[in-house]
Structure 1
Amino acid sequence: MLKPSDRPTDVYTPAEERRSVSLVAQVAVSLDSPVARIALAGALGLFLGLEREWSDKPAGIRTFSLITLLGAVFTTLDREGLLAIGGLLVIVQGAVLAVQGLRDEDLGLSLTTSVSMLVAYGVGALTAAGYVIEGVTVAVLSSLLLVLKRELHSFAGGLSREELRSTTEFAILAFVIYPLLPTGDVTIGSGELAVAIEPRVVWLMVVAVAAIGIVNYAIVRTYGGRGIAVTGFFGGLASSTAVVGTMLDSVRQRPTMTSYAVAAVLLADAAMALRNLAIVLAFTLPNVLVGAVVPLAIVVVGSVAIAAVTADWDEQVTMDLDSPFSLRNVLAFGAMFAVVVLAGGFAQAQFGEVGFYVTAVLSGLVSSAGATASTVSLYRTGSLGYETAVIAVLLATASSIGVKAALTAAGPSRQFATRVALWSGILLTGSLAAAVVLTL
């Protein structure tokens, strides 16, 4: 609830008062005015009540609109206890509907309507208090939950025990543990052995592996082997390193998926290099870093070509996975990633500032896109020369490819690790040769 001193006001100078536009019109077009917020609250109530009206429920468009207006008016008046009394009235009204639903053997639907009414009251209060974006967000999400009732019930009812457990584990990883981790750098060790890491960055990789694993599970169940190609490329756009964790888990569950998993890692490399290539082209025109563009293009084309021939994409294969992801393997991958980050930080701390190249390599372990964007930004301002910028971009890209090969080495399949390392080496050799030729 806003205090009187916090409530935004419109201040007009004498010159503004002499304008032909009326004060009412000025207030109506501004979301800072109470009138506009109350009107918006009523509109959101109409939006929320639309589905209830269509579903022929006891409370519909008019009831929901009046409830949001009630919340907006009580918030605007800002009288102590008034907002709480209004909320209590809405709760009582919802309880009456719930009792009626119990008598009519329709308790579930009545409870949904009762809770929706309380949400509508909160939307009105949020909007009137100045939290317009928050109020609109709550209204839209609530409406989606009401409209997608059948789809949500069908989805929840169709989950297996393993799928439900994996969903719960992912929720704990993303929404319980992640917010509890400290923000910023945390120093491990002391003196010359002190290394600073970001716990949230490391844990975010764990969450990314789990998220990509869930998406991969759904796509593979639907499209079989071809689904892995989709996971590899689009997962690579989000986090190419996280794709490795997903593929390690897939190979553990189905060793016959090795060739497809190798192709997925290569496609993740292609997506990563394509993303870096897009950054270079978009932000270095007209002085394009040609020395970086050609090697990056070689990685993209080479990765796609190798992925196309290493797996039989025309073969109809059934790849039913046991579960969306394995928590044990996801955490193991996170631990391996943390070791890599620590090793990189330790090397930098021990050997001092070797220059921008070391920074590019270490950044590439986490996000080659971030390292590329930083390099391009410095190149545009003249802080970095052409050759330095080219080498930094290529080092970040090579670091991303190399770390994926290194992480597979600790996986359960020697064949998977060997093939990823072999093809990664060929890609790096080809891009390095192109870079050398362009510099001659």
Structure 2
Amino acid sequence: MIALTTLGLSPVGDEVGRIVLAAALGMFLGIEREWSQKSAGIRTFALLSLLGAVFTLVEADSLLVVGGLLVIVQGVLLAAEGFRDEAAGLSLTTSVSMLVAYGVGALVMQSYILEGVTVAILSSLLLVLKRELHSFAWGLSRAELRSATEFAILAFVVYPLLPAAPVPVSVGELSLELELRVAWLLVVTVAGIGIANYAIVQTYGGRGIAVTGFFGGLASSTAVVGTMLDHVRQRPAAASYALAAILLADAAMALRNLVIAIAFTFERGILYQSIVPLGAVAIGSVAVAAYTADWTESVEMELDSPFSLRNALVFGGIFLVVLVASTVARAQFGTGGLYLTALLSGLVSSGAGTTSAVLLYRGGAVDSNTATIAILLATAASIAVKAGLTIASPDRRFAVRVALWSLALLAGATAVTLAVIL
């Protein structure tokens, strides 16, 4: 919890501050409803948040429940009116939003400041992005809907069933502890990134090379390379933006690995060392893409279904093999064995190599410098694979340009890494 007393306020000032914040968040929620000319607008939402705050302040649970029931009744009346005047779904949205505003006021008054602000912001985004969300939902194919369902099973059914405590595992004479929940959460994170950016590519992919390359790279960097090879084969003049798309896919991959390295290392100590080298790859790739690309071109990408349970399990299996291999290699051959494993795993999946290094670091098996080098090696191997795939292009000059720029990026990232570590 985050209380306003941390700002030096007295208890009375703290309560008054929370009341003001509750009203402000209610107004924030009501802005979109007011702009959409609904029957409940900015004043109604502010008053509902204040009502939740006041009923919470008097510490009477029964009164708080009665207030919630009154908000529900008012929402039902608005929904009934909506059946006569407009589409029922819109009135239902307003009714539910009113209950959310009431809940936000109660959260803030109980000193759940961060939680209340988060709920208000997310709710406002759902209201503002109405058209985009409806358009996305209506445009889903049966395969995409099935993918979303499988992802929900992966994220919300399997995860709670896994043991929260680390599980000891013996590999020969070696023993290690696997954090199965963290490992599965990493798998879910990678799959979730792919789904989110699949949606973005499907919506905006044809509008520009930046979206196609970068977000396509997050969804499937191999798809980006394959698409660019097809375009270069059909149109040799497309080589400039094809090069940019591949480099932007590299930037997306490096950024994804950086997110994994930062988001999952809070408990042990954030891997700050990874920010500079992976950031150098991402920024360098974007800079080269901006220099080489013909920004007037656009590309339509054909991506497969964004997610499948089979692909997730395959990634999880690869990740588990890489983790065990990294542990065994480090025990038998020292850090050199870990580096070799990271390099080889990056040829298949830089995400698997990155997550393995992160978990080894979390478990205390390796230090921050060793984990950073392993992540960079996995990232470098992935960049090299994408450059190697361009050999299939009939345009040898295009393949050479991709290889040279990729080599320059790797050299720059390596130099930056050594400078940071040493």
Closer/same/farther in 2, CA of residues 34 and 301 from structure 1, 3 Å limit:
closer
Alignment of 1:24-423 (within 5 A): 30=13, 33-104=14-85, 106-178=87-159, 180-183=161-164, 185-189=166-170, 192-199=173-180, 200-201=182-183, 203-205=185-187, 207-209=189-191, 211-212=193-194, 214-215=196-197, 218-219=200-201, 221-222=205-206, 229-231=213-215, 235=218, 246-247=220-221, 256=230, 264=246, 268=250, 272=254, 318-349=300-331, 351=332, 354=334, 365-366=353-354, 397-402=376-381
Structure 1 counterpart SS, 2:173: helix
What's the CA shift for 1:127? 1.1
Across the aligned residues of Structure 1 and Structure 2, the Cα RMSD in angstroms comes to 5.6
In 1: Cα distance, 2:43 partner to 2:330 partner = 65
Larger Rg: 1
Structure 1 pair 128–400 and aligned structure 2 pair: CA distance change class (3 A): same
User: 1:206 touches 1:334 (CA, 8 Å); kept in 2?
Assistant: no
From the superposition, tell whether residues 26 and 297 of structure 1 become closer, same or farther in structure 2 (CA, over 3 Å): closer
How far off its partner does 1:76 sit? 0.7
Q: Which whole-Å deviations, capped at 9, do the CAs of 1:279-329 have from their partners, x for residues lacking one? A: 9xxxxxxxxxxxxx99x98999899989x99x9999976532243344433
Distance 1:145 1:312, change over 3 A: closer
CA distance in 2, matches of 1:327, 1:338: 16
Query: Alpha carbons of 1:58 and 1:400: their partners in 2 closer, same or farther (altered >3 Å)?
Result: closer
CA distance in 2, matches of 1:263, 1:66: 50
Q: 1:89, CA displacement in angstroms?
A: 1.6
After superposition, the Cα gap between the structure-2 partners of 1:172 and 1:313, relative to the gap in structure 1 and judged at 3 Å, is: farther
**Superposed displacement of residue 9, structure 1:** 8.6
TM-score, normalising length: structure 2: 0.63
Q: Letter of the aligned partner of 2:54 in structure 1? A: V
Distance verdict in 2 for CA 1:87–1:323, change over 3 Å? same
Gaps of 5+ in 1: 13-24, 236-242, 280-292
Contact 2:326 2:338 in 1 (8 A): no
Aligned length: 363
What do the CA deviations read for 1:223-272 (whole angstroms, capped 9, x no partner)?
Answer: 58765642477x4xxxxxxx7xx345778999958997998489638974
Q: Which amino acid aligns with 2:314?
A: A
Consecutive unaligned residues in structure 2, runs of 5 or more:
234-241, 262-275, 344-352, 394-398
Structure 1 residue 129: Cα displacement: 0.8
Are 1:224 and 1:317, in contact at CA under 8 Å, matched by a contact in 2? yes
Q: Is the Cα contact below 8 Å between 2:228 and 2:245 reproduced in 1? A: no
The offset of 1:130, in angstroms, is 0.8
Query: Once the 2 structures are TM-superposed, how far is the Cα of residue 78 of structure 1 from its aligned partner?
Result: 0.5
Percent of residue pairs bearing the same amino acid type: 44
Q: Structure 1: which amino acid aligns with 2:98?
A: M
What letter matches 1:159 in structure 2? Answer: L
Bigger drift between 106-115 and 65-74 goes to: 106-115
Q: State the 1:48 CA deviation.
A: 2.2
For residues 300 and 4 of structure 2, the distance between their equivalents in structure 1, rounded to whole angstroms, comes to: 61
Q: Which has the larger displacement, 90-99 or 51-60? A: 51-60
C-alpha contact (below 8 Å) 2:31/2:41 kept by paired residues: yes
